[in-house]
């Protein structure tokens, strides 16, 4: 099979490692720009709490700011545009071994949203060798459908073999994959933890990355049976 992965909160623990640090930076940056906050520690706690159920850091900042929304761009820029390569970032457990195992049986690709240099830096920091993927697309454009199509066009998987997409965000990662007739695996970690996907979009749900091996056994059997 051809397997297309998402990066943040699917292979690496972005929400756990980077987001809390960057939200603190964003808060400080917005305060420096004039945002009035009485108790910074308390404000940070509130921001983290809002972030727990937010679909993105940007959404969390937006909700946090309320009527002070004019600081949103300053905060967002800090979160998304200023990721230091010094920040710690870990892969989820089992990711490195599982990817290595899968790569001997399947073709792997990565479609990730964000600045290309930062996405590659995060992979490197997490110990993921990007060369394990036959194709990597890092794009700031949030619509993944055209990127999935580009991967398929480029790698040309056999017509009777399936394409499987694994990601944490149902609307962003999995809905466009389903539209293209791909098999979808919902990684319920990070941002994905708060959302349960409808069964017409989500074929499988996993909480541990290595569980994807069981799914691939099932799907490979189906391909052989065709």
Local structure of residue 87 (DSSP, 8 states): S
Residue placing its CB nearer to Mg ion in the complex, 29 or 125:
125
CB of 10 to Mg ion, least distance (A): 5
Residue placing its CB nearer to Mg ion in the complex, 9 or 78:
9
State yes or no: residue 6 binds Mg ion (CB under 5 A): yes
Pure H helices in the chain: 14-17, 19-32, 40-52, 57-65, 72-81, 95-103, 116-126, 145-155, 175-179, 212-225
Q: What are phi and psi of 145, to 5 degrees?
A: -60, -50
Residue placing its CB nearer to Mg ion in the complex, 8 or 13:
8
How many residues line the site for Mg ion (CB under 5 A)? 4
Site for Mg ion in 53-72 (CB under 5 A): none
| Helix (H/G/I), strand (E/B), else coil: 154 | helix
Task: Determine which residue in the list 13, 78, 168, 219 makes contact with Mg ion, applying CB under 5 A.
Answer: 168
What's the start-to-end Cα distance of the chain, in Å?
A: 13
- Identify the helix (H) or strand (E) that includes residue 1: none
State yes or no: residue 9 binds Mg ion (CB under 5 A): yes
Window of 9-17, 122-130, 175-183, 216-224 that interacts with Mg ion by CB under 5 A: 9-17
CB of 39 to Mg ion, least distance (A): 32
Structure tokens at 80: 């998304």
State yes or no: residue 8 binds Mg ion (CB under 5 A): yes
Binding site for Mg ion (CB under 5 A): 6, 8-9, 168
């Amino acid at each position: 099979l051809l397997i297309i992965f998402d990066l943040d909160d699917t292979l690496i623990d972005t929400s756990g490692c980077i987001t809390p640090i960057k939200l603190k930076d964003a808060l400080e940056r917005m305060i420096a720009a004039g945002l009035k906050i009485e108790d910074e520690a308390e404000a940070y706690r509130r921001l983290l709490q809002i972030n727990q159920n937010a679909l993105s850091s940007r959404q969390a900042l937006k909700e946090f700011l309320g009527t002070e929304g004019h600081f949103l761009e300053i905060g967002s820029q800090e979160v998304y545009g200023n990721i230091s390569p010094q920040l710690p970032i870990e892969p989820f457990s089992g990711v490195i071994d599982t990817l290595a195992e899968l790569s001997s049986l399947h073709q792997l690709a990565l479609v990730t949203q964000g600045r290309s240099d930062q996405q590659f830096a995060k992979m490197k920091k997490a110990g993921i060798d990007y060369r394990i993927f036959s194709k990597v697309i890092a794009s700031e454009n949030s619509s993944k459908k055209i990127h999935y199509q580009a991967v398929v066009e480029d790698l040309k998987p056999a017509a009777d073999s399936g394409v499987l997409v694994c990601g944490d965000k149902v609307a962003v990662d999995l809905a466009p994959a389903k539209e293209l007739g791909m098999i979808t695996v919902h990684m319920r970690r990070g941002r994905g933890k708060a959302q349960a996907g409808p069964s017409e979009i989500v074929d499988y749900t996993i909480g541990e990355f290595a569980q994807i091996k069981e799914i691939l056994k099932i799907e490979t059997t189906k391909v052989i049976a065709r």
